[in-house]
Structure 1
Amino acid sequence: MSADIYQDLKQLGSNAALPNNPEEAQLERVQNPQADVSYNVRFTAPEFTSLCPMTGQPDFAHLVIDYVPAAWLVESKSLKLYLGAFRNHGAFHEDCTISIARRLVSFLEPHWLRIGGYWYPRGGIPIDVFWQTGHPPDTTWIPDQGVPPYRGRG
């Protein structure tokens, strides 16, 4: 595969503004030049933010997204802009986490995807949200996400 797999990318290498909301965000993808190999890709977003839909107060999470690509790879700048678009978006933790995973699954059609949404506590209760598309491929190494459960002072 040659560099022409990158020719349709619009955001990478340009001054792309942060989208106003997740619906306006444009995810971009490229052909997977290693589609004959089963491997895991991990994105970690330790400073993810969104807004509480009721109070407008900020919510913070450490997101870990693992996927085993098939024909497509997500372009990382477009993913960063998509995740950043949640900054002014009001939704509960569960909705944010699952919406991100479902959009990626729909867009990339990976062999497998999982997301861990490790939300920082507000009001004294941390909420962690986990989802995956099914069983990971047997031949692919999927490491632990490495985020310890919230323990407070305990």
Structure 2
Amino acid sequence: MSEDPVQPLHLGRNTPLPANPADAVLDYVQNPRADELYLVRFAAPEFTSLCPVTGQPDFAHLVIDYAPGETIVESKSLKLFLGAFRNHCGFHEDVTVGIGKRLFDEMTPRWLRIGGYWYPRGGIPIDVFWQSGKPPEALWLPGQGVPSYRGRG
């Protein structure tokens, strides 16, 4: 987490894309509604990373849902973090779960889930899901809205 959760490092600045996810700094700011239970959703329909075996690009539609605690993730830093995967080699499972765990561990939301809807490689689409635990009882939890892969027809 950044030193000062009130002053984002990236917001309002020309910030280059990090060379890899480990170098990416995620900014968190104070949650203006920390006393409320609500859901935040980020969708990244054009996410890319690289296959660790072939080095070829892999494409996914990521959906990240979380119920904030004391902080929220600043969206520009999240975009830079996700963009850093463009040159990162990782299996779908490792990439999807790694993103969810990093956000959960650093931001400490009440609850978080990530759905990684990966496009086919070798004719097989892979969907990867991770969540931090049971969702809070009163949390409105819509479906992620990404249909199973059906090809062109």
TM-score by length of 2: 0.95
Report the Cα offset of residue 13 of structure 1.
Answer: 0.6
Q: Distance in 2 between matches of 1:5 and 1:22?
A: 20
Is the CA contact 2:5–2:28 (under 8 Å) kept in the aligned structure 1?
no
Of Structure 1 and Structure 2, which has the larger fraction of its residues in strand?
2
Per-residue CA deviation, residues 66-117 of structure 1 (Å, 9 max, x unaligned), is 0000001000000000000000000000000000000000111111000000
Provide the residue aligned with 1:113 in structure 2. Answer: 112
The secondary structure found in structure 1 opposite 2:147 is coil
Separation in structure 2 between the aligned mates of residue 105 and residue 96 of structure 1, nearest angstrom:
14
Give how far 1:153 is off.
Answer: 4.8
Q: Distance in 2 between matches of 1:86 and 1:5?
A: 24
* Aligned residue-pair number: 150
- Residue aligned with 2:83, SS: helix
Unpaired segments of 5 or more residues in structure 2? Answer: none
What SS does structure 2 have at the residue aligned with 1:87?
helix
Contact 2:47 2:60 in 1 (8 A): yes
Aligned to 1:16: 15
Question: After superposition, where does 1:76-91 map in structure 2 within 5 Å?
Answer: 76-91=75-90
1:3-152 paired onto structure 2 within 5 Å:
6=6, 8-152=7-151
Q: Which amino acid aligns with 1:11?
A: H
In the TM superposition, structure 1's runs of 4+ consecutive aligned residues that sit over 4 Å from their partners are none
Deviations 1:42-70 (A, max 9, x none): 00000000000111100000000000000
Task: Please list the CA deviations of residues 111-140 of structure 1 after superposition, one character each: whole Å capped at 9, or x if unmatched.
Answer: 100000000001100000001111111111
Unaligned ranges ≥5, structure 1: none
Shift of residue 152 of structure 1? 2.2
Determine the C-alpha separation between the residues in 2 that align with 1:94 and 1:5.
30
Kindly indicate whether the alpha-carbon contact (under 8 Å) linking 2:49 and 2:59 is maintained by their aligned counterparts in 1.
Answer: yes
TM-score relative to the length of structure 1:
0.94
Counterparts of 2:149 and 2:63 in 1: how far apart (Å)? 15
Give me the identity figure in percent: 68
Please identify, of 135-144 and 100-109, the stretch whose mean Cα deviation from structure 2 is larger: 135-144
